[in-house]
Amino acid sequence: MISRFRGASSVLLAGSLACGDDGGAVSDASSGGSTLADTTGQTAASSSTGGETSTTDPSGDDGDALARYCGDESAAVEDQITAWLAELDVASKVAMMHGVGLLPSGGSWGVAGNAAAGIPGLHMLDGPRGVSKVSGVTATAFPVGMMRGATWDPVLEREVGAAMGREIRSVGSDVLLAPTMNLLRHPRWGRAQETYGEDTHHVGTMAVAFIEGVQSQNVIATAKHFAVNSIEDTRFDVDVTIDERSLHEIYLPHFRRAVQDADVGAVMSAYNSVNGLYCDINPTLLRDILGSEWGFAGFVMSDWVQGTHASVAAVRAGLDVEMPSGSHFGSLVGAVAQGDIDEAELDESLRGVLRAQLCFDLDTDPPQVDPDARETDEHLALAEEVARRGIVLVRNEGVLPLDRALLGEIVVMGPFADVENIGDDGSSTVMPASVVTALEGIVDRAGAVTVTHLPSVSPTASDELVIAGADAVVLVVGLGADDEGEGLVAAGDREGLSLSLPQLELIHAVAALGTPTIVVLEGGGPILVSDWIDEVAAVMIAWYPGMRGGNAVGDILFGDAEPSGRLPASVPVAEADLPLFDNVSLAVTYDYLHGYRYLDAMGVEAALPFGFGLSYTEFSYDELMLSESQVPASGTVLIASVDVTNVGTRRGRETVQLYVAVPGSTTMRSPRDLRGFAQVELDPGQSATVEIEVAMQDLRVWNAEAGGWDPLEPTDYLVQVGPSSATLPLQAQFSVSEGA
């Protein structure tokens, strides 16, 4: 029987602050090493040597897996679990392996405990942008995950996680069903808004920070949906065929980091099947990878209602808890009686469930209902700051920031100007007490400037006269809950990547009038801009900006805040430039390339590249240095340093991005892969040295034939640094020698 002795450790807080040489604040968001105990209880080797293939992550240390997960009390925790399992009968055990009912009770979905034994049970709530509406209470509606991904700031995201953790506890819940960390393989995915972006390194860094923030409040975070899940309309039935290399190098590393770097408490299996097996009955995913290879110490739950496909087979594959009821797992009592499964196998599954409850102190520090802990001034200010930081300015022909002293009147139009547009109507829906719309935020920040709202869908003759007499016009367009969202529960996948025809006609008509036109795009993912962007003076992407998003829009427009958001996903010129998105067929194939990696490999320029964003100031890059020019095959970390200077006239924040190319590789690779990033905030004329760590594990290749990671390939590696995937002015080279 495969051991479920699973654990992990974070040895580097992604986003820890440092100082540059000239005093600039630097946020290091590079990935660090992690720790892993293998299933025999031995510590994984620090690297693979010779020509052998390592089957485990080579970045471990000698720490004890359970001590990392539970701290100093790990031995006592395991003893307590053993005692409980010896005392409980089969029916009591099975009751703690599934939810208590299809509908939430008391504002959350529950998993039974055992009062007589002192086992608290679990209380679960979404979601990715705040306390779920299912709770029946108002709560802080944070910007969606995609907008938080656009901040590229794990320090800020850790604060968001902690705030959500506090609010989840305030309604009596102890499991947060977030983060959603599936890659945005294609922008038409209806649930794009919930994740952080298209790149595994970027998503992993943001997710680790969020999980650490949530779990700092003794709330169990849930990494979902495991794995290869990014289609809504066929999500219950689609089978995704994927080769081992694509799975291990592209679609799993961010989940691995959630386990090994953030010690995530729970993982949710996806609805879909992978290579012919549904995720909840897929031992390759749950037993072999999550359990044996990564050493996960928490518990695996199913997705809701249709996410469980068996009882005995699911338990043996590695599923611990069926949600939200016991449609399948309820039969396990009879299965034990009939000899179809051993009680010891239930004990093995239940151990992870009980461990999480004890290690997160749910028995001694249960959550307490506290309405005063929600929508606090601190949380509202944080939601507003995240919205400011997540807005991405992608075009500015000298019109922004708007100067109040030079303006008499601005016009605000568009279908989302005066609409509370904060995300889809799916499981992640939050019910805030109030929402600041874009129009309200602009009016509030306009000062003495007259703001005229024109509610017309298309400009009338009288509207045209008003627009012609104004100094600027702001069009708020994009997507809403009717256009995209969770499948069946909400709108599902998008029908296309363009704006609706009426919105396109509105942009063309208003821009033709000659008044400087500023477009504010709302939505959960990339929207095509190529057929109209050259007609307007400025474009900012405001995503679904949360309950205080309108204030953030106003702050950026009038220059009260600096635009620092960067795109977490590529915006193509046309949808045909991307891999096919098939949300009709029940069998699809996921390949090695998507997003900027696919565009680069095809030699196709993006309309707006991954990592791109404009500021109200400018930055220069100089003196890229590497800690080593020759890296041994056993190497674990490379440090790159670069000097960044604010050469503009305003204080600003820059996101320094590091990509690695392996042009001489004998294996097909992406032209470049993001392997680190960091932020620096500088005054005009100020410089700072930014350091970014590159984990050598991220440069290794999965060997499908051997079933493990190859040693570092002995060849030259090109480090490229700059402000986006398409603008990388600095480069340096290091080499790995065979047998070094």
Q: Cα(695)–Cα(98) distance, rounded to whole angstroms?
A: 39
* Spatial contact of 605 and 593, defined as CB atoms under 8 Å apart: no
* pLDDT, position 738: 79
Query: What type of residue is 622?
Result: D
CA–CA gap between residue 611 and residue 614 (Å, rounded): 10
> What is the spatial distance between Cα 135 and Cα 369, in angstroms, rounded to a whole number?
12
The predicted pLDDT at position 39 comes to: 28
Confidence band (pLDDT; 50, 70, 90) for 33? very low
Binned at pLDDT 50, 70 and 90, residue 64 comes out as low
CA nearest to 193, candidates 489, 569, 564:
569
- Please, where are the H alpha helices in 287-437? 312-317, 332-337, 343-359, 377-390
In whole angstroms, what separates CA 370 from the centre of its chain? 28
- pLDDT in the model for residue 18: 35
SS3 253: helix
Percent above pLDDT 90 for the chain: 89
Tell me if the bond preceding 508 is cis, omega within 30° of 0.
Answer: no
What is the percent of the chain with per-residue pLDDT over 70, rounded to a whole number? Answer: 91
- Tokens describing residue 587: 């069998």
State the pLDDT at residue 26: 52
Q: Quick one: three-class SS letters along 230-251?
A: CCCCCCCCCEEEECHHHHHHHH
* pLDDT computed for residue 633 by the predictor: 86
Cα separation, 298 vs 224, whole angstroms: 13
In this prediction, residue 737 carries a pLDDT of 86
Q: Per-residue pLDDT for 5 more than 60?
A: no
For 702, phi and psi rounded to 5 degrees? -80, 130
Does residue 141 surpass a pLDDT of 70? yes
Say whether pLDDT at 108 is over 60.
yes
Q: What is the pLDDT of residue 739?
A: 66
Which range, 10-19, 147-156, 729-738, has the best average confidence (pLDDT)? 147-156
Contacts of 482 (CB under 8 A, 6+ apart): 491
Q: Which residues pair with 43 in a beta bridge?
A: 37
Tokens (6 digits) for 91? 């029916």
Q: Which residues contact 454 (CB under 8 A, 6 or more apart)?
A: 411, 412, 413, 463, 466, 467
- Residues forming a β-bridge with 717: 734
Crossing angle for the helix pair 377-390 and 154-170, nearest 10 degrees? 140
| Domain map (residue ranges) of the chain | 91-364, 391-563, 619-736
Beta strands in 662-712 (DSSP E): 673-682, 687-695, 702-703, 708-709
Omega within 30 of 0 (cis) for the link into 127? yes
Q: Does 68 have pLDDT greater than 90?
A: no
Catalytic pick from 57, 303, 347, 673?
Answer: 303
Q: What are phi and psi of 154, to 5 degrees?
A: -65, -25
Q: What is the pLDDT of residues 657-679, one digit of tens each?
A: 999 999 999 999 999 999 999 99
Could you give the C-alpha distances from 424 to 136, 181, 293, 552, 739, in angstroms and in order? 17, 17, 36, 20, 53
Provide the 10 A C-beta neighbour count for residue 725.
26
pLDDT in tens, 188-232: 999 999 999 999 999 999 999 999 999 999 999 999 999 999 999
* Stretch 391-403: mean pLDDT: 98
pLDDT at 25 exceeding the cut of 80 = no
Which residue's structure tokens are 């605000």?
412
Distance CA 316, CA 286 (A): 10
Whether the per-residue pLDDT at 9 is higher than 70: the answer is: no
Q: How far is the C-alpha of 732 from the C-alpha of 59, rounded, in Å?
A: 24
pTM: 0.93
Task: Look at the alpha carbons of 106, 107, 109, 110 in this order and tell me if their dihedral is positive or negative.
Answer: negative
Residue 67, Cβ neighbours under 10 Å: how many? Answer: 15
Q: Structure tokens of 109?
A: 């979905």
- 617: DSSP letter: S
Q: What is the DSSP letter of 114?
A: B
Confidence of residue 15 (pLDDT cuts 50, 70, 90): very low
**How many Å apart are CA 274 and CA 501, to the nearest integer?**
37
Please give the CATH number for the structural domain made up of 619-736: 2.60.40.10
**Beta strand pairing status for 637-646 and 587-590?**
unpaired
Q: State mean pLDDT over 227-240.
A: 98
C-alpha closest to that of 680 among 665, 672, 693, 690: 690
- DSSP H or E segment with residue 450: strand 450-453
List pLDDT tens digits, range 332-382. Answer: 999 999 999 999 999 999 999 999 999 999 999 999 999 999 999 999 999
- 3-class SS at 108? strand
CA–CA separation, 424 vs 137, rounded Å?
18
CA dist., res. 288 & res. 698, Å (int): 20
N- to C-terminal Cα separation, the chain: 38
Q: Concatenated DSSP letters for 403-424?
A: -GGG-SEEEEESTTTTS-----
Distance between CA atoms of residues 570 and 674, nearest Å: 13
DSSP one-letter code for 710: P
Classify domain 91-364 at the CATH topology level.
Answer: TIM Barrel (3.20.20)
Q: What is the pLDDT of residues 446-469, one digit of tens each?
A: 999 999 999 999 999 999 999 999
How far apart (Å, rounded) are the C-alpha atoms in residues 386 and 152? Answer: 11
Whether residue 62 has pLDDT greater than 70: no
Q: At what angle do helices 154-170 and 200-215 cross, to 10 degrees?
A: 40
Is it the case that residue 180 has pLDDT exceeding 70? yes
Per the structure block, which two tokens stand in for 662?
């392996």
pLDDT of residue 24: 52
Mean pLDDT, the chain, rounded, equals 92
CA distance 402 to 400: 5
Q: Tell me: the pLDDT tens digits for 600-620?
A: 999 999 999 999 999 999 999
Long-range CB pairs of 329-334, under 8 A, 24+ apart, other chains included: 329/94, 329/97, 329/98, 330/94, 330/98, 332/90, 332/94, 332/97, 333/90, 333/91, 333/94
Q: Per-residue pLDDT for 67 more than 90?
A: no
Cβ proximity of 255 and 227 under 8 Å: yes
Cis peptide before 401 (omega within 30 of 0): yes
Q: What's the whole-number mean pLDDT along residues 526-554? A: 98
Classify domain 391-563 at the CATH superfamily level: Glycoside hydrolase family 3 C-terminal domain (3.40.50.1700)
643 flagged as catalytic: no
User: Is the peptide bond prior to 187 cis by the omega test (within 30 degrees of 0)?
Assistant: no
- Is the separation of the CB atoms in 101 and 114 below 8 Å? no
Reading phi first (left if > 0) and then psi (alpha if -120 to 50, else beta), residue 519 is in beta
Backbone angles phi and psi of 638, in degrees to 5: -120, 140
Residue type at position 676:
G
pLDDT at 149: 99
Q: What are phi and psi of 87, to 5 degrees?
A: -90, -35
Q: Which two tokens stand for residue 644?
A: 């960044």
Distance from C-alpha of 389 to C-alpha of 566, rounded to nearest angstrom: 9
Closest listed residue to residue 254, CA positions, set 571, 14, 424: 14
Mean per-residue pLDDT, 561-583: 98
Neighbour tally for 70: CB within 10 Å = 22
Question: What is the full DSSP assignment across 151-190?
Answer: TT-HHHHHHHHHHHHHHHHHTT--EE---B----SSTT-T
Summarize the confidence of residues 7-33 as an average pLDDT: 38
